[in-house]
A and B are shown apart, each in its own frame.
Chain A
Amino acid sequence: MRTGRRGFLSLSLAALTGSVLELADAQVTGMGGRVVAPQPKPKASGRPFSAHFVDVASAAGLLAPTIYGGLDRDQYIIEANGCGCAFFDYDSDGWMDIFLLTGTRLEGAPPGTSNKLYKNNRDGTFTDVTKKAGLEAVGWANAVCVGDYNNDGHEDLFCTYFGQNRLYRNLGNGSFKDVTREAGLVEAETRWGAGCSFVDYNRDGHLDLFVSNYLKFDFQKVPAPGANANCNFKGIPIECGPRGLPFGQHSLYRNNGDGTFTDVSKESGIAKPWPSYGMTVVAADFNEDGWPDIYVASDSTPSLLFINQHDGTFKEEGVERGVALGNDGGEEAGMGIGVGDYNLDGHLDIFKTHFSDDTDVLYLNDGTGNFDDRTVPSKIAVETRFASWGAGIVDLDNDGWPDIFFVTGSVYPNVEKSLPEYPNKSPRILFRNLGDGTFEEIADAGPGISAPHSSRGCTFGDFDNDGDLDILIVNTNEPPSLLRNDLKGNSHWLKVKLVGTRSNRSAIGARVLARYSGRVQAQEVMSQSSYFSCNDSRLHFGLGESAAADISVHWPSGIVEEYPKVKCDQLITIQEAKGVVPNLGWARSA
């Protein structure tokens, strides 16, 4: 008498449905994806949104495309990740210049392909000074992080690559020198450098360097598209990975104070074999103990939060602090990171971007470095259509409430022919902060938002120094977008530029608290955020109707300075232990 195992509808279907539910809950389709249903959209608030974005890249002279991988299809994952960009002031004239990384192609890059440095002409246009600056380079670049590692007053650049990362020292005369070798940063083997951040982890006043690594990649060993189930997206062959490929290992380099670095990955606890495909890196003091921590977005694996132990070591606590996984405990994609204080409680929250068919995630910091997943209550879970990359928690309309912005783009250019609901190019996404813990998606904030591109890195800054935040975006195999914010209305703002003296010169790790309208907003100067990118280091605060704000500066050295009733609508430059000093290239208001 055989047990009744076959022939029952419910049993077979239960097995079938069980398989599907398992797949639906944890479907990994190539580059770290799940299948999560979007939240239903609530009714529109009807409140006007005064920011309006227009793409002025062409008019500004940003014409060179970012070459990255195949146009119609990618063979390998190395072609899909794309790269970042930076707003930074390389010539210290008070105007944001632009640095854009590039990739290459399997068959070689077209002539003229290179990373690009564009000097701000201060009239809405830029000049390509890449060659003059000595920054011409082509390869599989990923991330850029900015910081004055030698404290000479000039911002330096570190660029990660599949292959060899590069440290460029800013010589202060409009040019850079590749000092990778003399700094001791040459890798013994080929590695895939992904995100990076300068960070003074030991608070000695010198910027150290953290580099995440994505995975161990070997062209000879990676399977071809469609070769196995890790190389398929809904039945369509795609490039393999990251699942199924070996993890990368992250690195921490201590600045010796003499222009060189020492690899302290092992002794610091960073080099443990974390199951992590590392991507963007953010260094910030999440638990507000005065020491910078390091958060690494990790693709298809738990994201990592390294908590500084104050003794040269770090302890990884992402899971227990609530920032490693989705709210169902599942591993998510994890590409870009926005850091900001969305609920104006004085603590740094995290927004992380993910793959299509999944929500991006919003983690609320309780001030102790413990986070709660607020994705659904904040209503950002209405959007799951696109793979999402560079992001920011930034006040785009200056109403005093930081909004959320991110860029999108497919990693499978060949899929849209069969599945048009997964387009290669897709619009930018903007969520305006409603001020009650929730957000509302804004689709009509200008053509710069709605235009579809396959984007990756993006950076936020004020390139035209008009008191609002503009956005520079890397578009795969296209010229970049430079979204000029034509903000209307009378909302006030304040920018704070910090110059360290006892702390590192770039003031990376300095935290500013701005108090206005009975609330407090926290920001930190960072070397990298968004996706593989670096923002304008002048911290921008929208103040709404407030005409002034009380500013507290918490320097990495431990010094705390107070600046009460700072008038709105100006940039102030604060030098550590000295106070407010004249701005570079920007007149102070009376």
Chain B
Amino acid sequence: MKIKLLRGITLSFLVLSGVIALPAQERIAEKASVSSIEQLIRAHNYDQALTLTRAGLDKTPKDYKLWTLEGIVLSIQGKDSDAIAAFDKALLLQPDYKPALKAEVQLFSKAEDKRGIPLLNRILATEPGDQTAHEMLGVLEGRQGECVAADEQFALSGDGLLRHPESLAVYGGCLEQSGQTQKAERIFTQLSDLLPDRSYPKYNLAVVLVESKRGAEAVKVLEPLLAETPNDPDLLSLASDAYEAAGDTPKAVSLLRQAIVLDPANAAYYTSFAVLCLDHESFQVGIDMIDAGLKRITNDASLYISRGLLYAQIAKYDEAEADFKTAETLDSAQSLSAYAIDLAELQKNSSENALTNVRAQLQVHPESANLHLLLAKLLSGQGLGSGAANRAESHDQAVAEALAAVKIKPDMTEARNLLATLYAESGQYALAIEQCRLVLRTNPDDQSAVYHLIVALRHAGNGTERNEIPALVKQLSELQTVSRQKESDRKRFRLVEQHPVPSP
């Protein structure tokens, strides 16, 4: 794509050079100079082309075309930063000069330099239909992590995108990060077809399939990769996720253990193991594995949080809190340990401590949606003292905190479900219905939201809305059946210690 664009720039420059309105004699002289330089470039006579260009610039230093030519030659010679300087000069003199814009964009794209973004925006301001520019802009935005902007650009890129592996890779990554797994799957499938001999497209496709809980399909994609590179710990850990999602817990555990053995200093594998242990209620096994990890990795907050959460499951709340506090010390920027400390307090039936802690932690982590939600839950149960006024005050504060949580994280369904409950409790059923519907837009299988909607519609739905109730009841029953089956599958396996315990 890059090479074709450069040739395109040269050609378009040459086409444009014929339409400049200059006095006749000067035009002839201009044409001679430009066409001479162009001939030299075609003949790969770059040094001479450069000399001629610079000679012209000595005479007419404000000639933006000559600056552009200089930039083109320099970029062909691989002197990119000098070329950029030349294009900058051209654009200072003539900001909308397309050949200079496009040539400089080309260099910025190659370097994955975000300075290309404003230039591309300028191109698109006058040529909104330029699909190539949209695609390039999408790639640059995506590489900067601006996936929403990137998504918009890729949507305008046209079918050419589907033939460009680099663009597809960036697009797919953005879709995966923003949770658009269906689209991401299509993109990575296309990329895998384009690059059948490369492993990363299949890896990415498997990531998306695992995230979509399509474990069996992910396993199918990963099996050939595992055969090729059986000692890649990252691949092993992804395959572990895939096998677990496919219901093969023994295989999942085995692969993850291999990943740990191969890369025992990678904290993420230990936290993944902790997730497996939590899912299969094998808490002590998880604790023992984290203990082993902590012998090698002493300063990773995630390990302490993992172990703390496991301790909490076996009611060792003091040990759990100690771990959470260590995590907080190691990485005070993350708020999860603070949140976990509060959960532990609640599990100990110390809700007053939890309330005090949460308020203090929100001073430090006001951006934590989890903490706002936890405060909302505590306030919703509180009803300060007795009396309707106090209860109303607590209720209003709880609503405010839940709203703060969804403002930070609009897809936080738990917060919206709490809002639905709070609104229903105060008779504001229309608001409750609204929250339920928002949750179900994010997750149509959210049982709490379905139930809250049934209750709210029963109270305040109009005739048409109340007619929804039987279908919702049926839907809830079906969801419960599916949940029970999933739980049954999840609980089929428990992780047990091997004796002797193999060390990482």
Contact = CB atoms under 8 A, between A and B. Distances in A.
> Are both chains from one complex?
yes
A39 B484 CA distance: 28
Contact of B458 (A9, A229, A322): A322
A54 interface: no
A155 B280 CA distance: 51
Contact of B278 (A19, A236, A244, A385): A19
A6 interface: yes
A329 B380 contact: no
A319 B473 contact: yes
Given A19-B279, A235-B281, A2 B315 contact: no
Nearest to B452: A329
B343 A24 contact: yes
Contacts of B267: 12
Interface stretch (B32-40, B58-66, B346-354): B346-354
Interface in A1-25: 1-13, 15-17, 19-21, 23-25
A40 interface: yes
Given A39-B351, A235-B284, A10 B447 contact: no
A135 to B, nearest CB: 40
B386 A436 contact: yes
Interface in B363-385: 370, 377-378, 380-385
In this complex, the member of A2, A10, A19, A329 whose beta carbon has the largest number of chain B beta carbons within 10 angstroms is A329
Contacts of B455: 322, 372
Contacts of A385: 349
A275 B480 contact: yes
Contacts of A372: 455
Interface stretch (B9-17, B148-156, B200-208): B200-208
Contacts of A232: 281, 494
A379 B384 CA distance: 11
Given A9-B302, A16-B275, A421-B315, A320 B454 contact: yes
A330 B447 contact: yes
A234 interface: yes
Nearest to B170: A1
A349 interface: no
B487 A243 contact: yes
Contacts of A331: 480
Interface string B86-100: 000000000000000
B441 interface: no
Interface in A389-429: 419, 421-422
B278 A319 contact: no
Interface in B31-73: none
Contact of A37 (B234, B336, B370, B377): B377
B238 A5 contact: yes
B271 A15 contact: yes
A37 B351 contact: yes
A300 to B, nearest CB: 9
A407 B270 CA distance: 43
Given A12-B271, A15-B271, A330-B448, A28 B487 contact: yes
B477 A319 contact: yes
B371 to A, nearest CB: 12
Contacts of B275: 15-16, 19
A10 to B, nearest CB: 7
A129 interface: no
Interface string B316-335: 00000000000000010010
B447 A329 contact: yes
In this complex, the member of B177, B281, B351, B454 whose beta carbon has the largest number of chain A beta carbons within 10 angstroms is B281
A376 interface: yes
B123 interface: no
A434 B484 CA distance: 40
Contacts of B451: 319, 325, 328-329
Contacts of B173: 1, 3-4
A327 interface: yes
Given A3-B173, A229-B280, A377-B425, A9 B386 contact: no
A236 B281 CA distance: 10
Interface stretch (B18-26, B114-122, B291-299, B305-313): B305-313
Contacts of B213: none
A38 B425 CA distance: 18
A136 B229 CA distance: 73
Contact of A38 (B300, B306, B312, B349): B349
Contacts of B271: 12-13, 15-16
Contacts of A5: 207, 238
A394 B114 CA distance: 73
Nearest to A6: B268
Contact of B313 (A45, A234, A330): A234
B172 A13 contact: no
B215 to A, nearest CB: 15
Contacts of B391: 377
Nearest to A25: B414
A579 B377 CA distance: 53
A234 B314 contact: yes
Given A1-B200, A7-B266, A16 B309 contact: yes
Contacts of A37: 346-347, 349, 351, 354, 377-378, 381
A228 B492 contact: yes
B336 A21 contact: no
B283 interface: yes
A16 B278 contact: yes
Interface in A257-310: 275, 302
Contacts of A10: 334, 336
B77 interface: no
B169 A1 contact: yes
30 contacts: A2-B203, A3-B177, A4-B177, A5-B238, A6-B238, A7-B266, A9-B300, A12-B272, A17-B370, A20-B278, A20-B309, A20-B313, A23-B278, A37-B346, A37-B377, A39-B381, A39-B383, A229-B280, A235-B281, A235-B283, A235-B313, A243-B491, A244-B488, A244-B491, A302-B480, A320-B469, A327-B421, A328-B451, A329-B476, A419-B315
Given A3-B204, A370-B458, 18 more contacts: A1-B169, A5-B238, A7-B266, A7-B268, A9-B331, A13-B271, A16-B302, A19-B278, A20-B343, A37-B346, A37-B349, A40-B352, A40-B381, A229-B281, A229-B490, A230-B491, A322-B458, A384-B349
Interface of B: 169, 172-173, 176-177, 200, 203-204, 207, 234, 237-238, 266-268, 271-272, 274-275, 278-284, 300-302, 305-306, 309, 312-315, 331, 334, 336, 339-340, 343, 346-347, 349, 351-352, 354-355, 370, 377-378, 380-386, 391, 414, 417, 421, 425, 447-452, 454-455, 458, 469-470, 473, 476-477, 480-481, 483-484, 487-488, 490-494
